[in-house]
């Protein structure tokens, strides 16, 4: 997450971190936002090592996409407490940004045939999914009823199961050298 593929790459990640991280930290604690970010970095790296093990992996895109996924889940979960037009706008902006960026990443990976090293886009998807699951856990208004919600536990168990599977896969089955 500290190594990037150029100035544009790091500036894009920093811009998205600021645009998403600051509003999330204004509502939630910095620890919660940091946990979602780190869960995305780990999940993005592990997903890339499983589904795209021979590609280069640089940047903080897993963490940035986790913030996007967490921001998305924050908007979905807390939609009733927002002005409806604001909630719809927030959700549509995230869907538009993610759709455009993932579309360009897939295009650059599979359509453009240049001699440069192929960069993995799987970390974006893994980070986004982690952000939605862990973001649901951390960005939901916490109360004792949340502990009885099966979705809460499905998110936690799902993330831990993926994490353990990915680590075991990388130790015993990974085709990467």
Instruction: Just list the catalytic residues.
Output: 61, 124
Give 12: exposed, middle or buried? Use CB within 10 Å, 0-12, 13-18, 19+.
Answer: middle
Label residue 97 left, alpha or beta by phi (over 0 means left) and psi (-120 to 50 means alpha).
alpha
Residue 169 in tokens: 């896969």
Residues 6+ apart with CB under 8 A from 48: 55, 57, 62, 120, 122, 123, 126
Beta carbons of 50 and 129 less than 8 angstroms apart:
no
d(CA 45, CA 67): 15
CA dihedral 126, 130, 133, 134 (to 10 degrees): 180
Q: Where do the DSSP E strands lie in 63-165?
A: none
């Amino acid at each position: 997450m500290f190594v990037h593929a150029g100035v544009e790459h790091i500036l894009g990640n920093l811009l998205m971190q600021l645009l998403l991280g600051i509003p999330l930290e204004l509502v939630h604690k910095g620890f919660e936002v940091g946990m979602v970010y780190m869960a995305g970095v780990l999940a993005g790296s592990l997903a890339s090592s499983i589904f795209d093990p021979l590609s280069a992996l640089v940047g903080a895109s897993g963490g940035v996409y986790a913030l996007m996924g967490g921001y998305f889940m924050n908007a979905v979960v807390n939609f009733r407490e927002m002005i409806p037009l604001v909630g719809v706008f927030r959700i549509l902006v995230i869907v538009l940004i993610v759709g455009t960026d993932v579309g360009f990443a897939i295009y650059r990976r599979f359509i453009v045939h240049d001699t440069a090293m192929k960069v993995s886009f799987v970390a974006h998807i893994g980070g986004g999914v982690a952000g939605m699951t862990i973001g649901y856990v951390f960005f939901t208004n916490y109360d004792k009823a949340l502990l009885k919600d099966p979705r809460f536990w499905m998110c936690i168990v799902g993330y831990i199961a993926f994490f353990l599977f990915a680590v075991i896969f990388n130790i015993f089955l990974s085709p990467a050298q």
